[in-house]
Structure 1
Amino acid sequence: MASSNTTPPLANGVSAAFGHSLRQEFPFDADYRNFNQGSFGAWPTAIHTRLREYQDRANARPDPFIRYELPKLLDASRAAAAALLRAPAETVVLVPNATVAINTILRNLTWNPDGRDVMLYFSTVYGGCGKTIDYIVDAHQASNTPVSSREIPLQYPFEDADALTAFEAAVARCVAEGKRPRLCVIDTVSSLPGIRFPFESVTQACRRHGILSLVDGAQGIGQIGLDLAALDPDFFLSNCHKWLFVPRGCAVLYVPRRHQGLIRSSVPTSHGYVTTQANTNGTSRINPLPKSENSHFVNNFQFTGTIDCSPYLCVTDALQWRKEVLGGEERILEYTQTLAREGGKRAAEMLGTEVLENSTGTLGRCSMTNVALPMRFTTDGGDGALSATEVPVVMGWILGRLMEDYNTFIPLFHGNGKIWARLSAQVYLEVEDFEWAGRALLEICQRVAAGEYRGAAN
């Protein structure tokens, strides 16, 4: 792979220069350094212009645009996203975000009345997804179809084989207890820490055991290569506004044809829903929207109430921009993944710490890196260390200083007795930015060691 200090060349020898020269394509404040593509994303000014154009068209002729033009544009965006994911267009719909997508799946599934069904998830699960699982369990406790959940614990830095072994052990324990593992939530790239998860092998294991695989690719599309034809998950979702340069909020929800009958309704339910029973008044519901030739599954998601669908329409534009300006997906991923590795290494060197990685280097095969901060926590805070009870205060204080004193934001998390910083690599960054981040974090940690954070605890 090419060094992150150079831009991978295009096939025709012409290259758009990655790094600081691309900052002008994004509407960042002049002094702001964005190390957090992984939370809310960022998109180029050119795509923002397209967003406004779609909004202006909707405002200029609301009914003609929303009723007649919008469905065709949505179909085009679905087809573009599906092509990138290597999936049939009729298996992909667009929703506001990954949280809506996972809620759509879990709220539609029905559970066996014997109460043996179990939802499995790894300790890497995103908090919002974990809360959704909790809700499903809580909501069914008083019903005649109770369902339970089970966490599969993982200790960082784990090897890919460790995740698969932990999964198999959890399945075996469920079966031994008379339970039925029904579904497993699997990350592609987990959030905190930002590491690549061995989702391919776990998805295959789910298939062997007859367990539904729900692949949470919220951090996936635009950050790693994805091939749903090869992966063949039972459900897949991914935010387009994180890494694909699509405006907030837009996500893809993939449901293969074999399972589309399980997803009875969008969330929320709207005009696309098709009931299985006659209306109690003996009349049919009126659908005020033009007739569509799409499937019931797709129609469910074409209109879910009045929302601004302009971000959805930008999927096509974002992919075109990435191809024409940046040279396409493979070239982008080569740069960002290399930069994450090299930048993370430099930041760790400046901090005198380490990057979160396993012995085979598979956790870092993505566009994020996790660097340990130079501070220790113990139960009692002895031997020059900080007290473990101070972790939330210290983390909150550091985040505040990053925003107020350094005009940036770097997500932090606590694990293995350390505080880690998650840094996102992107086409507008260079190794020098990671060196800057390392210096900033080191200065702040020195201020922590001097006790400056203690005023925040009062």
Structure 2
Amino acid sequence: MGLTQDSELPLREKADVDASDNGPVKFGHKLKDQQFLFDPSYRNLNHGSFGTIPRAIQAKLRGYQDQAEATPDLFIRYEYPKLLDLSRAAIAKLLRVPTDTCVFVANATVGVNTVLRNLAWTPDGRDEILYFDTIYAGCLKTIDYVIEDRGGLVNGRSITLSYPCEDDAIVSAFHAAVDASIQQGKRPRICLFDVVSSLPGIRFPFEALTAACREKGLLSLIDGAQGVGMVDIDLGQVDPDFFVSNCHKWLHVPRGCAVFYVPVRNQALMRSTLPTSHGFVPRGGGGKKRLGPLPPSPKSVFVNAFEFVGTIDNAPYLCVKDSIRWREEVLGGEERIREAQIALAREGGQKAAEILGTEVLDNASRSMTRCAMVNVALPLAVQPEDGKELAGELASLASFPESDISAVTNWILQTLMDEHKTFVAIYVFNGRLWARLSAQVYLELDDFEWVGHVLKGVCERVVKGEYKQ
């Protein structure tokens, strides 16, 4: 009844994916054409936003959905929890933590919300949430909401970073922010930071920051939206207080799916899922017994709470074990994938920068680019509204008014999509425009060369004022 962990993946024959007799598949365009679902004319250089899945995982997804439609009650009530446990075990093994510390939520933002909305804040109003100024906008707005909703019981404190810098400087900035908070009579309670930040796409020293939080007595909340499947994450060793990571971005799992890790010591703090699920247990246990839709389970309160939050299509959660297996059997495993993506991002980013006549955002130790995303400067500066003249390298670049940032970036994005069948994250940082490029197993160096020429041409058209038309 149902699928088991040993059920066959609908994998293509080795010859179809250009695998050698002695090793896994070769990365690149042939893999893209035969294993993935892209339009042949589309170049996906923005894997970091929404990810994608191979044909084999799409087939698994539809298989689970078909089972749910064939016997809804049988599958949802009885088979789904068993399959979910297999995926929880698979992701826990990948992260090197106990299975009962891992559950799934729809995306990383849901995980961050779950933590910040569940924490009880001290009535004296001195509590603070620390975060870095490179925080993902959705998480920053969550902090804004919690501050507003709790009526002054908690406040936020932003930690400013000046890139490029070494990892030690980031940790030092954290220590300085904690000290400043205490000196001002505040109580730093929790720090939110990334595995890899979004804009710019930089690998964060999340391991060192977790240790620093422990040293200073703060809770650590790791936003690994860009994390699992791209960066080696040993949660058992790092030992954060809370961790969430999207599986649909870099682990080739269908959207939306994120692993939410909470060590046993902190699970009692997570009083409710979002929304509150059938697994919620009122304090004291003195009220009426609440009925649930699933059969009785011996699992922990934490695991039961997240098992069935409500009726939505949770088939992506069941695909986690299949994606991990596919990556091992077809792509050669996590280490091979990581090394190839980092190498391609670094080489491809440098090639694009050479074409543009600019540079890649990195530090001397290259720790900032130890991931599958790379940030390439565009030859366009932003002229401040205050009339100050551009200085240094920016003074030699073509520029546009600060008031035109939205018009320029939106015109570039629309042009890339309409004329070139691609999308690249474009943003302003350090007074100029940047492009964030993603490396993946289905890309090759010539994709980065191609996008370098495309971006150069688009920037030249910005200088001519086409965005104003």
Query: What residue number does 1:259 align with?
Result: 266
Q: Per-residue CA shift, 1:232-288, capped at 9, x if unaligned?
A: 000000000000000000000000010011011111112101111456xx6321223
Q: Does 1:327 align with 2:332?
A: yes
Which whole-Å CA distance do the structure 2 matches of 1:329 and 1:412 have between them?
29
Equivalenced residue count is: 442
Q: Per-residue CA shift, 1:369-391, capped at 9, x if unaligned?
A: 00011112222598853222212
Distance apart, 1:180 and its partner CA: 0.8
Query: What residue number does 1:39 align with?
Result: 49
Whether the 8 Å CA contact 1:246–1:314 is kept in 2: the answer is yes
SS at match of 1:195: coil
Q: Does 1:57 align with 2:64?
A: no
SS at match of 2:319: helix
Which whole-Å CA distance do the structure 1 matches of 2:146 and 2:19 have between them?
48
SS at match of 1:260: helix
- Of 183, 191, 207, 2:198 maps to 191
- Of 431, 451, 454, 1:440 maps to 454
Query: What residue number does 1:176 align with?
Result: 183
Q: Which amino acid in 2 is paired with 1:43?
A: I
Which whole-Å CA distance do the structure 2 matches of 1:197 and 1:432 have between them?
28
% identity of equivalent residues: 56
Q: Does 1:287 align with 2:292?
A: yes
Runs of 4+ in 1 over 6 A off after TM superposition: 9-12
Query: What residue number does 1:5 align with?
Result: none
Query: What residue number does 1:3 align with?
Result: none
Distance apart, 1:11 and its partner CA: 12
Which whole-Å CA distance do the structure 2 matches of 1:71 and 1:438 have between them?
47
Q: Does 1:388 align with 2:402?
A: yes
Query: What residue number does 1:453 align with?
Result: 467
Which whole-Å CA distance do the structure 2 matches of 1:168 and 1:288 have between them?
47
Distance change (3 Å), C-alpha of 1:386 and 1:13: same
TM-score, normalised by the number of residues in structure 2: 0.92
Query: What residue number does 2:28 align with?
Result: 19
Which whole-Å CA distance do the structure 1 matches of 2:19 and 2:115 have between them?
40
**Which deviates further from its counterpart, 51-60 or 110-119?**
110-119
Which whole-Å CA distance do the structure 2 matches of 1:401 and 1:381 have between them?
30
Query: What residue number does 1:4 align with?
Result: none
Q: Does 1:341 align with 2:351?
A: no
Q: Which amino acid in 2 is paired with 1:22?
A: L
Whether the 8 Å CA contact 2:19–2:26 is kept in 1: the answer is no
Q: Per-residue CA shift, 1:54-102, capped at 9, x if unaligned?
A: 0000000000000000000000000101100111000000011111111
Which whole-Å CA distance do the structure 1 matches of 2:283 and 2:434 have between them?
51
Which whole-Å CA distance do the structure 2 matches of 1:180 and 1:166 have between them?
17
Q: CA RMSD in A?
A: 1.6
SS at match of 1:81: helix
Distance apart, 1:217 and its partner CA: 0.7
Unaligned runs of 5+ in 1: 1-8
Q: Which amino acid in 1 is paired with 2:136?
A: Y
Q: Which amino acid in 1 is paired with 2:82?
A: K
Q: Does 1:164 align with 2:174?
A: no
Which whole-Å CA distance do the structure 2 matches of 1:159 and 1:167 have between them?
13
Describe how 1:182-261 pairs up with structure 2 within 5 A.
182-261=189-268
Query: What residue number does 1:311 align with?
Result: 316
Whether the 8 Å CA contact 2:355–2:452 is kept in 1: the answer is yes
Q: Which amino acid in 2 is paired with 1:287?
A: G
TM-score, normalised by the number of residues in structure 1: 0.94
- Of 368, 371, 379, 1:374 maps to 379
Whether the 8 Å CA contact 1:381–1:387 is kept in 2: the answer is no
- Of 91, 107, 111, 1:97 maps to 107
Which whole-Å CA distance do the structure 2 matches of 1:451 and 1:442 have between them?
15
Which whole-Å CA distance do the structure 1 matches of 2:174 and 2:426 have between them?
27
Describe how 1:116-135 pairs up with structure 2 within 5 A.
116-135=126-145
Whether the 8 Å CA contact 2:24–2:329 is kept in 1: the answer is no
Which whole-Å CA distance do the structure 2 matches of 1:439 and 1:93 have between them?
43
Describe how 1:424-439 pairs up with structure 2 within 5 A.
424-439=438-453
Unaligned runs of 5+ in 2: 1-17, 390-394
Whether the 8 Å CA contact 1:381–1:388 is kept in 2: the answer is no
Whether the 8 Å CA contact 1:26–1:45 is kept in 2: the answer is yes
